[in-house]
Structure 1
Amino acid sequence: MPRYFTRDHEWIEIDGSTARVGITDFAQAQLGDITFVELPAPGTLLTRGGSASVVDSVKAASDVYAPVGGTVTAINASLEDAPDLVNSAPESDGWLWDMTLADPAELDGLLDHAAYAELVAGL
């Protein structure tokens, strides 16, 4: 499944017209120990670049932005009891929400793995 990244350190993995979203390993490392994750409710309509979630850590609270527009179809309920999954497995078990894509053309503005790695290397 193709995976894309934003300049704000979110990842999105595409499976047909649905997607799974989370924050990158770089993002979780910058935040420190995650203590709470506020997730959007299923059915929430997200707009590309709009705040969709909040991740609280020992350092700060940070917004997570929707990489593309669409409707939330599921959340990672495991994060309610184990928000530290975002630290230990940010790009797998620590995913945040699933969504349907409103406009797959919005993926065109995102970074592939190589471009994201180059972005992070320059920080």
Structure 2
Amino acid sequence: MLRLPIALAALSAVISVACAQLTVLFPGGENQWWVDGSDNLLEWNCNESQVQTFSVLINNPDFLTPLAIIADQPNFVCSRLITANQTRALPVGTGYTIELVNVLNSSDVYAQSAPFEIKPVGSAFPT
């Protein structure tokens, strides 16, 4: 009788590992921002998800739709330098989020960052 709860707990742990979600680690939150006109870091928890590839979108409440900044990103890399050229059309402001999405269906969002700010050219980077 006690074996069933133990078996269910073990199965639950296996399913949790197999379904582990991607998480955007940087940027996101009030102490993590990007600087306009600069190369900026994007970082995620690549070793905790079975997702092989994803697209990277940036969103803001002022946008009609999110903007694609990377079409096909391999998950195993764990971070990527987003060049100033990739974000040059983005205005300085708050409320930005990064979305890691299914390459074939951008409405299938694997992860979304906490809101962050893009600061003006010449601002200091977060420590």
TM-score band by shorter chain is: 0.3 to 0.5
Larger Rg: 2
TM-score in terms of structure 1 length: 0.33
TM-score in terms of structure 2 length: 0.32
